[in-house]
């Protein structure tokens, strides 16, 4: 059975932001809401600069689900973590719980005035009828229901961002890591999100302190 | 109200040790109050998109895994 | 401004991310978080200002697209318009609305991949809140006023004819566009000539003119030798003057794949770029010292005997002279003195390239936009020739062109010195050739010009049009000053000396801007004028069909995605309609003697010529020199439908027929990269890698071009014995083919009777039957001859490339040793200063008042002048401020902190008095050294601290505006091509004070 995951290969990510605009385009996400973003660490530091594309990782044990006071999250049978905006009260707990900074709130302001939470849906829409106008307006496209994968991963300029079945991702990544002599063997965020490295044993366990 | 307080406590605990709390949420997942979603494979494929048999999870997954190889440029390069 | 505030929300996000990244983030500065891109308040504020309405809280977006389940969806295949990589896009269109964009995994070029711009291109089709110009406008009493197309045409043409009567046709300058497709570019080239002037140019001048000249003079053709894909076959890739990760992101797919297979990636750049972050070796050199660096590398190559001696003997002219000079002049210590690079680093680069062959040197504006760029390009070529890296798969000079069709527009478009296919205006035969292809009367054409002398004289260049307006009349090499300018798809902020451009705008009688986003020109003009300008809304390349040439010379055919939006019209419709008002409509469509080259159709744009007719009846019939003759629309369209059949590493089709037409693509290279010689019927497959003798010409193999004679001072210029294409019947060097050579060889009778008639008295380049090319290639010969590449270009001021200090050099102490050229009284019709500017700067001690090198470059979100991409909210959100990258030490010395506004001033001339200065934000980073600062060049809309919003036509201002770096860039031009200097000048940075 397919278990949907994301993986960003930091050896490949060039911070082109293709994933970011692919997401904006496909889901028509408004200005100020960033379901996906690219973070560059050590910008300009020779030999140390790395870029990583970050969004909701659809964690195995999703902290957002654990803390939601109104229980608005659910997990699809493909392992995608979604939520119901009709139930969401915009409290922001999920935001504090998320290790990836994924939850977004369309309105800024004091506590309680955040508006409904918004986040990456793995291009799987939400609880409205699949491919309906209502689903699109609230949650964006449902590419999975069209037999497609998330727009960000499908359009990544260097194929750094992989999105789809976790086993297939691990296979692709393992081949790549082996070819380049184990460089970048540690897939960023996999420890936090899925509690395990990509299958195949090339990646070491998540570093200690990954879940502080 | 009590539930709210519990959650608030859970958040505080999370800040201290997320890993433990993460593991303690299965009943919450089980008792979902949200509307359930239609499974992806229970949709009719688009006229100009990938094809599978509606309602057949295996055919949908096979199709998805095949499409996923588009993210693997080697398959295109050494086709 | 609201935009500048960072909200709690984003601050918290930052801290969460920091945790996720194990705290590494906390001690780093990220370009985007620094530039508060994710500020939520900012977003809401901008939404309120620019989108007119707040978004509903519970909704993520207002549905602009329709549900897939209703209505028929058509899929149109087009090509991204944002750079020269040539990424294919499938556009899903419903009821004329572009609703979805899907990746084309089948494309051998991009395999479905896109950068930020490509992935956001559908925004073009969203009419709601569009920032485009929506209808024709004129400036009247200082206000932009809506007018009709008819009024616009009437008033513009009346004014043009009136000025023509007073001052002649050379009073007009037409800035064309590298964003036009091939057909429109060819038409605009013709349009300018039918008006009667050579004063026309386009972005290629300020993009890769020095590349084209340098490569062309070395081995015959001025284009990228191989493809992006071919990098997968290479063992080393040196980027010198290219930040591909931001400028050509999808090319990095091939680069990184090569790297993972063991290729060494070297980046030499004053900045530690995103590309450098992916390199095995990074070397920081001083901006503008590329020749010194390259010859420093060459020194080690020669010293260690790493040069390919056999290759040099067989295929290179003059390397011995270069060697002599390099060994004497570019010892490690001298190289280090000039470049600032240690001997060890230079040696490492030389060794890595020598040990990892074949390899590429890759460049873009970092090499080309210098006062001595022609020398930089040639020095690069020489290093590659020394290593034997040219004319093979996996090695060569990969020149990354900028705009999507800058290669095609260079090949075919509005150039001041050439007609389509590089036929020089100075050679009368060129005019005979094209008059025949265009089906016009040459005598009529001659009368359109002010004189036959001016017809044969290359026009002014886009880099200098401002001087054409403001220079004293007696100093320019044509009768009138320029009085009218057409910006036909060109941003004014991409030209240097912006502050002086205002003076030119003050003096113009007429400015016409034809563009989907004409606003930067409009706002500048309106700042200093009350009237005299017209804005015409042009359709984009997604609103018409036509062919586009990627950097690797592959030609792809775009389908029209949507109809032109609002009142906009296609460029070719505007050309035809305006030609009608100016009295040369019939000539424009080649209507004479009962024959008509181009059919006219009615469209949303009104009457317009059919672009396929341009390809078939003009481009295919006339451009024999560079082989745009074989790519018929039918062949191109078959390739577009069958992309999956083309191999990614070789671009070749192993086999397969097009289902629609039955056309067999077996053996074709994708997009038939030019040269694709002969007529389409002989099925030349295109040339994937130039000058590759390992293949038969009918398999895409070629030799170096015999463009410079057969011998020089007794030394053979043709290839040595044994060097020829695979399967060649001549196994040594030979000159260009013409009717005489064909007869001598006894191959004349292999021409058909019709071909003989056409070929009599002709050469391979003007035989309209293509017979000479066909027969030459049948015998395994390249029609253009088989010669050596030239390391010494004796016809240029610097026969061997010289390092010359920039006009504004931070090293005044080196100017005497490495001075620039003498001033030139007449270069491209204008007096051009070199030494006098440089010496004055030394005398004035400019480098003390302005001690920092100012360089400029690309950001991934934006393209060119940036108006179009800064009008796209999905892109604009990512980069909301113009900024200057400044080293922590340099900043600290000036009391500047990260994120603060600063003034950057240069020694340029501000017509209002003083030096030009830019108000930008400081991004403090180690990415630049303490002696250098960097500003991206995509911004416009601020003028030395002032927002120009009041001067924009209503609703047509881009979302993000900022200082144009070129407002402050200084004087300086390449000695050969008039390329502008934008990569090395001087500046000072100071804390902002209002």
**What is the percentage of chain B residues whose pLDDT exceeds 90?**
39
User: What is the number of structural domains in chain A?
Assistant: 1
- DSSP three-state, residue C193: helix
Encode C359-414 in three state secondary structure. Answer: EEEEECHHHHCCCCHHHHHHHHHHHHHHCCCCCECCEEEEECCCCCCHHHHHHHCC
Distances in whole angstroms, Cα of residue A191 to Cα of each of A183, A206, B13, B26, C20: 17, 5, 20, 20, 11
Could A145 and B38 be called an inter-chain contact, meaning their C-beta atoms sit closer than 8 Å? yes
pLDDT bin (cut points 50, 70, 90) of residue A198 is: low
**CB pairs below 8 Å between B and C: how many?**
24
| Residues sharing a CB contact under 8 Å with residue A10, sequence separation 6 or more, in sequence order | A50, A51, A52, A160, A184, A188
Q: What is the number of other CB atoms lying within 10 angstroms of the CB of residue C635? A: 24
Beta bridge partners of residue C885, listed in sequence order: C923, C934
ipTM score here?
A: 0.92
Q: Which of C979, C941, C149, C198 is nearest to C512 (CA)?
A: C149
Question: Inter-chain contact A175–B74, Cβ cutoff 8 Å?
Answer: yes
Q: How far apart are CA C542 and CA C124, in angstroms?
A: 8
β C264-268/C236-240 pair status: parallel
User: Distances from the Cα of A122 to the Cαs of A76, A148, B36, C490, in angstroms?
Assistant: 11, 10, 17, 40
Q: Would A203 be classed as within a structural domain? A: no
Give the mean model confidence (pLDDT) for residues A86-115.
81
Chain C nearest CA to A70, separation (Å): 16
Q: Confirm or reject contact between B19 and chain A (CB < 8 A).
A: yes
Inter-chain residue contact C245 with A46, CB threshold 8 Å: no
Give the residue numbers spanning the domain of A34.
4-175
Is residue B73 within 8 A of residue C111, CB to CB? The reply is yes
Shortest distance, CA C98 to any CA of chain A (angstroms): 12
Q: What is the CATH number of the domain that holds A68?
A: 3.30.70.20
Contact yes or no for B70 and C103 at CB 8 A = yes
Beta strands C715-716 and C711-712 are: antiparallel
The SS3 assignment for C988 reads: strand
Q: pLDDT: is A88 or A199 the higher one?
A: A88
Count the neighbouring beta carbons within 10 Å of the beta carbon of residue B10. 19
The CA distance from C113 to the nearest CA of chain B, in Å, is 9
pLDDT band at B35; cut points 50, 70, 90: low
> Which residues of chain C carry a pLDDT beneath 50?
1-29, 34, 36-69
- Secondary element (H or E) of residue C76: strand C73-79
Q: Which residues of C touch A118 (CB under 8 A)?
A: 60
In a domain, A30, yes or no: yes
For residue C919, report the phi and psi dihedrals to the nearest 5 degrees.
Answer: -100, 105
* C637-652 pLDDT, tens digit each: 999 999 999 999 999 9
Q: Is A72 on the interface with B (CB under 8 A)?
A: yes
DSSP state of C846: H
pLDDT of residue B79: 52
Compare CB distances from B64 to A61, A74, A149 and report the shortest one's residue. A149
| pLDDT over threshold 70, residue B38 | yes
Mean pLDDT score, B35-49 = 86
Chains in touch with B (≥3 Cβ pairs < 8 A): A, C
Distance in angstroms (rounded) separating the CA atoms of residues C255 and C244: 9
User: Under a CB-based contact definition with an 8 Å cutoff, are residues C785 and C737 in contact?
Assistant: yes
Strand, helix or coil for residue C747 = coil
> What are the residues whose beta carbons fall under 8 Å from the beta carbon of C870, sequence distance 6 or more?
C862, C876, C938, C939, C941, C958, C959, C960, C961
Q: Is the pLDDT of residue A110 over 90?
A: no
* pLDDT for the residue A211: 34
Strands C852-857, C985-991: pairing is: antiparallel
Please identify among residues 56-85 of chain C the ones whose CB lies closer than 8 Å to any CB of chain B. Answer: 68, 73, 75
Q: What is the pLDDT of residue C439?
A: 98
Assess contact for C289 and C297: CB atoms under 8 A: no
Token look-up 């994968």 returns A149
CA distance B16 to chain C (A): 13
CA distance C608 to C594: 20
Indicate which of C648, C651, C656, C670 best probes the interface with B, i.e. most B CBs within 10 Å of its own CB.
C648
Sign of CA dihedral B69, B71, B72, B76: positive
Residues of A in contact with C113 (CB under 8 A): 18, 155-159
Which among C22, C242, C277 is the top mutation candidate for probing chain A, defined by the most A β-carbons within 10 Å of its own β-carbon?
C277
DSSP assignment of C35-73 equals TTTT-HHHHHHHIIIIISSPPPTT-S----SPPTTSS-E
CB C207 within 8 A of CB C496: no
Residue C890 is predicted with a pLDDT of 98
DSSP annotation of C799:
S
Angle at C935 between CA C930 and CA C937, to 5 degrees: 155
Q: What is the pLDDT of residue A1?
A: 76
The length of chain B, given as a count of residues: 79
Encode pLDDT of A127-180 as tens digits.
999 999 999 999 999 999 999 999 999 999 999 999 999 999 999 999 999 888
Distance from CA of A32 to the nearest CA of B (A): 26
């Amino acid at each position: 059975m397919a278990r949907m995951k994301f993986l960003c290969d930091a050896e490949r990510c060039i911070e082109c932001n293709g994933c970011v605009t692919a997401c904006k385009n496909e889901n028509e996400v408004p200005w100020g809401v960033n379901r996906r973003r690219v973070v560059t660490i050590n910008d300009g530091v020779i030999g140390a600069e790395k870029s990583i594309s970050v969004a909701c990782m659809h964690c195995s044990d999703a902290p957002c689900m654990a803390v939601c006071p109104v229980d608005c999250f659910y997990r699809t049978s493909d392992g995608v973590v979604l939520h119901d905006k009709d139930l969401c009260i915009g409290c922001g707990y999920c935001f504090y719980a998320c290790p990836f900074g994924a939850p977004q709130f369309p309105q800024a302001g004091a506590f309680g005035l955040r508006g409904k939470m918004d986040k990456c849906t793995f291009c799987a829409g939400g609880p409205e009828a699949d491919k309906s106008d209502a689903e699109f307006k609230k949650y964006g496209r449902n590419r999975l229901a069209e037999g497609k994968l998330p727009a960000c991963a499908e359009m990544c300029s260097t194929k750094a961002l992989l999105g789809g079945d976790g086993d297939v991702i691990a296979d692709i990544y393992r081949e790549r890591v082996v070819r380049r002599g184990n460089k970048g063997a540690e897939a960023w965020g996999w420890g936090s999100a899925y509690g395990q490295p990509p299958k195949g044993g090339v990646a070491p366990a998540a570093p200690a302190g990954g879940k502080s | 109200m009590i539930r709210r307080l519990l959650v608030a406590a859970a958040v505080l605990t999370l800040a201290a040790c997320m890993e433990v709390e993460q593991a303690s949420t299965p009943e919450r997942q089980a008792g979902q109050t949200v509307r359930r979603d239609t499974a992806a494979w229970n949709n009719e494929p688009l006229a100009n998109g990938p094809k599978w048999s509606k309602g057949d999870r295996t055919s949908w997954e096979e199709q998805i895994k095949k499409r996923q190889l588009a993210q693997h440029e080697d398959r295109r390069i050494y086709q | 401004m609201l935009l500048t505030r960072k909200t709690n929300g984003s601050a918290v996000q930052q801290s969460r991310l920091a945790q996720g990244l194990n705290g590494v983030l906390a001690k780093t500065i990220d370009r985007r978080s620094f530039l508060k891109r994710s500020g939520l308040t900012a977003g809401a504020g901008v939404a309120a200002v620019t989108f007119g309405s707040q978004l509903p809280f519970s909704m993520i977006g207002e549905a602009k697209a329709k549900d897939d389940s209703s209505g028929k969806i058509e899929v149109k295949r087009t090509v991204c318009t944002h750079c020269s990589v040539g990424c294919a896009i499938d556009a899903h269109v419903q009821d004329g609305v572009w609703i979805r964009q899907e990746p084309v995994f089948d494309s051998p070029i991009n395999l479905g991949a896109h950068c930020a711009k490509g992935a956001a291109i559908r925004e073009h089709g969203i009419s709601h809140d569009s920032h485009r110009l929506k209808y024709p406008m004129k400036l009247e009493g200082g206000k932009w006023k809506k007018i009709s197309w008819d009024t616009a045409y009437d008033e513009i043409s009346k004014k043009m004819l009136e000025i023509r009567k007073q001052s002649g046709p050379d009073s007009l300058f037409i800035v064309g566009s590298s964003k036009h497709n091939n057909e429109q570019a060819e038409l605009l080239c013709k349009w300018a000539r039918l008006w009667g002037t050579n004063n026309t140019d386009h972005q290629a001048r300020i993009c890769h003119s020095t590349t084209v000249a340098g490569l062309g003079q070395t081995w015959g053709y001025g284009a990228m030798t191989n493809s992006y894909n071919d990098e997968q076959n290479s063992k080393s890739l040196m980027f010198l003057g290219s930040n591909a990760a931001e400028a050509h992101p999808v090319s990095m797919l091939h680069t990184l794949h090569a790297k993972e297979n063991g290729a060494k990636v070297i980046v030499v750049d004053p900045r530690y770029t995103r590309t450098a972050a992916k390199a095995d070796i990074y070397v920081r050199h001083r901006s503008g010292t590329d020749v010194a660096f390259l010859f420093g590398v060459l020194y080690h190559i020669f010293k260690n005997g790493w040069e390919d001696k056999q290759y040099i003997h067989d295929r290179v002219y003059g390397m011995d002279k270069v060697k002599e000079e390099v060994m004497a002049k570019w010892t490690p210590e001298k190289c280090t003195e000039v470049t600032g690079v240690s001997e060890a680093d230079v040696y490492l680069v030389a060794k890595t390239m020598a040990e990892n062959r074949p390899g590429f040197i890759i460049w873009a504006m970092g090499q080309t936009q210098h006062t001595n760029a022609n020398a930089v390009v040639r020095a690069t070529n020489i290093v590659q020739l020394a290593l034997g890296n040219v004319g093979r798969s996996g090695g060569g000079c990969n020149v990354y062109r900028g705009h999507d069709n800058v290669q095609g527009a260079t090949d075919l478009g509005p150039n001041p010195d050439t007609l389509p296919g590089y036929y020089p205006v100075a050679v009368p035969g060129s005019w005979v050739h094209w008059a025949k292809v265009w089906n016009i009367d040459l005598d009529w054409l001659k009368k359109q010009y002010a004189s036959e002398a001016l017809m044969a004289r290359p026009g002014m260049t886009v880099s200098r049009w401002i001087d054409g307006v403001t220079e004293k009349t007696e100093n320019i090499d044509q009768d009138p000053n320029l009085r009218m300018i057409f910006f036909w798809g060109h941003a004014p902020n991409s030209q240097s000396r912006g502050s002086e451009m205002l003076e030119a705008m003050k003096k113009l009688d007429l400015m016409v801007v034809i563009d989907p986003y004409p606003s930067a020109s409009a706002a500048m003009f309106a700042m200093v004028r009350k009237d005299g300008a017209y804005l015409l809304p042009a359709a984009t390349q997604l609103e018409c069909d036509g062919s586009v040439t990627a950097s690797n010379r592959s030609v792809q055919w775009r389908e029209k995605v949507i109809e032109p939006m609002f009142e906009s019209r296609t460029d070719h419709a505007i050309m035809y309609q305006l030609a009608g008002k100016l009295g040369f409509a019939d000539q424009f469509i080649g209507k004479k003697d009962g024959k008509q080259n181009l059919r006219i159709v009615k469209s949303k744009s009104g009457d317009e010529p059919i672009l396929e007719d341009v390809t078939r009846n003009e481009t295919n019939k006339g451009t024999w020199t560079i082989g745009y003759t074989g790519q018929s629309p039918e062949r191109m369209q078959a390739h577009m439908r069958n992309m999956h059949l083309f191999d990614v590493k070789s671009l070749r089709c192993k086999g397969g027929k097009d289902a629609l037409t039955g056309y067999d693509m077996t053996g074709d290279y994708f997009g038939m990269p030019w040269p694709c010689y002969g007529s389409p019927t002989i099925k030349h497959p295109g040339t994937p890698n130039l000058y590759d003798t390992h293949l038969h010409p009918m398999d895409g193999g070629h030799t170096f071009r015999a463009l410079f004679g057969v011998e020089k001072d007794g030394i053979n210029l043709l290839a040595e014995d044994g060097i020829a294409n695979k399967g060649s019947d001549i196994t040594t060097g030979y000159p260009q083919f013409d009717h005489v050579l064909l007869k001598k060889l006894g191959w004349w009778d292999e021409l058909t009777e019709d071909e003989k008639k056409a070929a009599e008295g002709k050469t391979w380049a003007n035989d309209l039957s293509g017979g000479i090319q066909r027969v030459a290639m049948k015998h395994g010969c390249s029609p253009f001859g088989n010669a050596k590449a030239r390391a010494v270009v004796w016809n240029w001021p610097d026969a061997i490339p010289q390092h010359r200090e920039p006009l504004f050099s931070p090293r005044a102490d080196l100017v005497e040793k490495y001075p620039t050229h003498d001033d030139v009284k007449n270069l491209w019709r204008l007096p051009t200063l070199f030494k006098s500017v440089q010496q004055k700067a030394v005398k004035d001690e400019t480098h003390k008042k302005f001690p920092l090198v100012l360089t400029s470059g690309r950001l991934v979100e934006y393209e060119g002048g940036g108006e179009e991409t800064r009008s796209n909210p999905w892109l604009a959100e990512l980069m909301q401020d113009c900024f200057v990258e400044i080293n922590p030490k340099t900043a600290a010395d000036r009391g500047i902190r990260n994120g603060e506004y600063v003034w950057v001033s240069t020694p340029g001339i501000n017509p209002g008095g003083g030096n030009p200065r830019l108000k930008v934000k400081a991004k403090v980073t180690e990415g630049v050294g303490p002696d250098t600062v960097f500003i991206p060049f995509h911004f416009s809309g601020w003028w030395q601290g002032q927002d120009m919003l009041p001067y924009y036509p209503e609703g047509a201002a881009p979302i993000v505006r900022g200082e144009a770096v070129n407002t402050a860039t200084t004087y300086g031009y390449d000695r050969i091509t008039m390329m502008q200097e934008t990569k090395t000048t001087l500046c000072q940075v100071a804390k902002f004070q209002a």
